[in-house]
Amino acid sequence: MTAETNNVLMKADHVKVYYKGKNRKAGVVKAVDDVSFEIMKGETFGVVGESGCGKSTLGRALVRLLKPTEGEITLDGKAIAELKGEELKQMRKDAQIIFQDPSASLNPRRTIKQILMEPFEIHGMKGDVEARIQELIQLVGLDTYHLSRYPHELSGGQKQRVGIARALALEPKIIICDEAVSALDVSVQAQVLNLLQELKEKLGLTYFFISHNLNVVYQVSDRVAVMYLGKIVEIADYAQLYEKRYHPYTEALLSAIPQVGAEEKSERIRLEGELPSPSNPPSGCRFHTRCPKVCERCMKEEPVFREIEAGHYVACHLYD
């Protein structure tokens, strides 16, 4: 998808993640259905879409918490599903995840210091762990006295900083931020986003940044992928997407953000209906049941995801 292939850190190639629904009626849930993209070293690759579109499932597959049904994910050119022994251990260090709810992801019975020691214990790492923990807590803007505290003694923003410190412990190459700021108040959200940005520059990190909020994705991403019902429908550079969005779903998401595209003063596009079930997606283009620009072809034929401008990919019949 890009000429700079030697700069690719992670690649998803026709990845599908299907699983059985909770009840028989639900059938097979096609949470992620044939997505391909590349994440370049040092970039923030944002993924946006409504709740239930498959973005978190995709994030978990990227760190091997879930096994794809089909397709391949590579990290530094190595297929992560094939890794064993030392290579698997290294991959577990290289790819980390930060979860949405800092309260749920930190063990309430352990102090912050014990929580930050976990990654070193799991990987049997000795050496000067104590000094590294002191360094980590300062790196995320907390004080060393926080190390003796329990999670319930910290605010939501401080807990998420601990989550970030834990993800940084093993010096990862890529961090999956799964709705990492969604549970926080807006002002705290901005502080945590700034921290992530600072850490990226300081440590040369790469992020896969998942959010249902395009405004948040816009603030941090170099490139943005828009997901709808298990499919990526548009990928573009942040600036390209700001200038010109092609897919009607992206247009609808953008119209809900007043400050983006303000010059055009476009009216908010309200999508009718609920997100269809991923176990029974609509025929043809999956967005056709809610698309304001639907035509007959859309109901029968699935649009091909294609490059319509350099680096700008779209799946929509309007641009065939």
* Contact footprint for ligand SF4 (CB under 6 A): 247-248, 285, 287-288, 291, 293-294, 298, 303, 316-318
Residue 130 in contact with residue 120, Cβ under 8 Å?
Answer: no
CA distances, 21 to each of 27, 28, 29, 71 (Å)? 5, 6, 6, 21
Q: Which is nearer to ligand SF4, 97 or 315 (CB)?
A: 315
Using only the alpha carbons of the chain, give its radius of gyration: 20
Q: Which is nearer to ligand SF4, 123 or 297 (CB)?
A: 297
Residue 226 in contact with residue 233, Cβ under 8 Å?
Answer: yes
Q: Which residue has the tokens 């991403």?
A: 221
Q: Which is nearer to ligand SF4, 62 or 298 (CB)?
A: 298
The bridge status of strand 305-309 relative to strand 312-315 is antiparallel
Q: Which is nearer to ligand SF4, 179 or 234 (CB)?
A: 234
To ligand SF4, the closest distance from the beta carbon of 189 in angstroms equals 30
CA distances, 56 to each of 36, 62, 234 (Å)? 15, 10, 17
Q: Which is nearer to ligand SF4, 1 or 294 (CB)?
A: 294
Strand ranges of the sheet holding 206-211, from the earlier edge strand across to the other edge: 95-98, 174-178, 206-211, 44-48, 223-228, 231-237, 312-315, 305-309
Q: Which is nearer to ligand SF4, 203 or 295 (CB)?
A: 295
Helix ranges (DSSP H) in the chain: 55-62, 85-94, 102-105, 112-122, 129-139, 156-168, 186-203, 214-220, 238-243, 248-255, 296-300
To ligand SF4, the closest distance from the beta carbon of 26 in angstroms equals 25
To ligand SF4, the closest distance from the beta carbon of 229 in angstroms equals 11
To ligand SF4, the closest distance from the beta carbon of 25 in angstroms equals 27
To ligand SF4, the closest distance from the beta carbon of 251 in angstroms equals 9
CA distances, 106 to each of 86, 92, 97, 101, 113 (Å)? 27, 19, 13, 9, 11
To ligand SF4, the closest distance from the beta carbon of 248 in angstroms equals 5
What span, in angstroms and rounded, lies between the C-alpha atoms of 103 and 157? 10
Q: Which is nearer to ligand SF4, 230 or 303 (CB)?
A: 303
To ligand SF4, the closest distance from the beta carbon of 295 in angstroms equals 6
To ligand SF4, the closest distance from the beta carbon of 272 in angstroms equals 13
The bridge status of strand 95-98 relative to strand 8-20 is unpaired
How many Å separate Cα 293 from the centre of its chain? 28
Q: Which is nearer to ligand SF4, 91 or 269 (CB)?
A: 269
